[in-house]
Structure 1
Amino acid sequence: MTSPLAGLSRTIGSALSGIFFDAVLYRDAAAAGPNDWTPGAVTTTSYPCKALADAWSAYQIAGGMVAGSDAKVLILAASLSIEPQAGDRVTVRGETYALVSDGGSRPAVMGDPAKALWECRGRR
């Protein structure tokens, strides 16, 4: 049986792409080195996407859930060919944010049930 959420990501992506900004997600990957203790060269791959950067709510900041300097980075899932993860970087409107976890229970990246939007914790 098909999920009732099937196709919703694409629909939401089409509806919201006009209000999201062009952005780029960067992911670093190390190539295999000559041996286990010598890393290979790091290569950075860029992935175009649509994103927004916004402030977290006063409640979340006051409750210690996020740092006041952290930004909420929202990425339209339909615009990105990979799933974002901690350690990635996103550049939106000239600002670059590193996707970081709080070190506790809140991950760096969370998605919604329809997989339409990635909510990321970005640090300048």
Structure 2
Amino acid sequence: MKRILIAEDDRISQRLAKTIVESFGHTAFVSPNGKHAYEALKAENSFDLLITDIMMPEMDGRQLIQTLRGDTELREMPVIIMSAVVGVSDISSLLELGATRFLAKPLIQEELQESIRRCFAAKS
């Protein structure tokens, strides 16, 4: 069982992502924005994966990825981006920035589970 942090400000998306993660046998924790997520990652440093939205208050997903990739303790953490409002060039730039995978919203259970599986397979 892995520990997965979900950074998402929308309550419906939080619940959906948490339900999918837990149905796959992992433990899910929710942060309401990128700043809170980064603080949780730094404080605990026992998460195995971050799933984050792009558009959030205080620190958005793009800033969160940049911050993680600049942090020696967290730079290798796999990051799945989930968003409903980005185009192909945005997806490409997010992957270049350091995102591991991208998923379009609304989340589809099988796609999120496959992305989680691939992130952990790549880490092994």
TM-score normalised to structure 2 length: 0.29
Q: Name the larger-Rg structure.
A: 1
TM-score normalised to structure 1 length: 0.29
User: Which structure's residues are more often strand, by fraction?
Assistant: 1
Could you say which structure has the greater relative contact order, defined with CA pairs below 8 angstroms and 6 or more residues apart? 1
